[in-house]
Structure 1
């Protein structure tokens, strides 16, 4: 299992996705999410959330646009 420290040795141009249940988010974010039941938090290798997006496709596009490699964790 990877920890924040383990991920940081992979480099700084990597981001990973974490699915987040919309029900677990603050009211203002839920209001913006509309009918979506899951959003995707994008994290850097330090574990910091850098974005919250509606789909894996959007996350992939943003990562590529910012010269980052998107990886998924299992």
Structure 2
């Protein structure tokens, strides 16, 4: 690719256009979403709040509280089953 000065611009990714690299895929949605999933046995336990890359960033005693906490931090909550 060339810029206005006719100099070649290199890109960090060697992936073909439209194909995400493994790093891009791992970071996709990182600043936008948080995943909420039940932890523990059926009927016992709590709810884990995880970043898009799987890092646990919080917890809550119930699903509604977990979703509220995620939204309070300007993220979009998604359920993991």
Compare the two structures and name the one with the higher strand fraction: 1
Partner Cα distance (1:12, 1:71) in 2: 13
- Over the aligned positions, Cα root-mean-square deviation in angstroms equals 2.1
Partner Cα distance (1:12, 1:48) in 2: 13
Q: TM-score, normalised by structure 2?
A: 0.59
Q: Which residue of 2 aligns with 1:26?
A: none
Q: Which residue of 2 aligns with 1:39?
A: 46
- The number of residue pairs the alignment matches comes to 57
Partner Cα distance (2:39, 2:30) in 1: 24
Within 5 A, what are the aligned runs for 1:1-74? 6=25, 8-21=27-40, 37-74=44-81
Larger RCO: Structure 1 or Structure 2 (Cα < 8 Å, ≥ 6 residues apart)? 1
Structure 2 counterpart SS, 1:41: strand
Q: TM-score, normalised by structure 1?
A: 0.64
List, as ranges, runs of 4+ consecutive aligned residues in structure 1 with deviation greater than 3 Å: none
5+ residue gaps, structure 2: 1-23
